Chains A and B, each alone.
Chain A
Amino acid sequence: MNKNEPMQDVKNRRDGVLRAFVDSVPFHKFMGIDFERKGDELTAVMHYTPKLIGNPMVERLHGGGTAAFLESTAIITLAWRSIWSAMEAGEVDLAKLESGALPSLPKTIDITTDYLRPGLPRDAYARATVNRAGRRYASVHVEAWQDNREVLFAQATGHFLMPDVQKKP
Chain B
Amino acid sequence: MAKPTPQEASFTEITPLCKALGMTVTDVGHGTATFSMPYDKALIGDPDTGVIHGGPVSALLDSVSGLAVIVHPENKSQTATIDLRIDYMRPAPAGENLTAHAEVYHTTRTVAFTRATAWGSDPDKPVAQATGAFVFDKKEATS
Contact = CB atoms under 8 A, between A and B. Distances in A.
Interface of A: 24-27, 29-31, 50-57, 60, 62-65, 67-69, 71-72, 100, 102, 104-105, 107-115, 118, 169
Nearest to A71: B54
Which among A60, A69, A72, A112 has the highest number of chain B CB atoms within 10 Å? A112
Given A52-B17, A62-B17, A118-B80, A100 B47 contact: yes
A55 B82 contact: no
A49 B129 CA distance: 28
A65 B88 contact: no
Contacts, number: 132
Closest 10 CB pairs of A and B: A68-B55, A64-B59, A64-B62, A62-B17, A27-B53, A63-B81, A67-B58, A51-B20, A112-B85, A53-B16
Contacts of B91: 107
A67 B59 contact: yes
Contact of A115 (B47, B63, B82): B82
A122 to B, nearest CB: 15
A51 B47 contact: no
B84 A27 contact: no
Contact of B43 (A27, A60, A108): A27
Contacts of A26: 41-45, 47
B84 A24 contact: no
Nearest to B87: A110
A63 B134 CA distance: 11
B60 interface: yes
Interface in B2-37: 14-20
A169 B48 CA distance: 10
A114 B41 CA distance: 29
Contacts of B81: 63, 113, 115
28 contacts: A25-B53, A27-B52, A51-B17, A51-B19, A54-B15, A54-B16, A54-B17, A54-B18, A55-B15, A55-B78, A56-B15, A63-B62, A63-B81, A64-B17, A64-B63, A65-B59, A67-B62, A67-B86, A71-B53, A72-B53, A102-B47, A105-B46, A107-B88, A110-B88, A112-B84, A113-B58, A113-B84, A115-B83
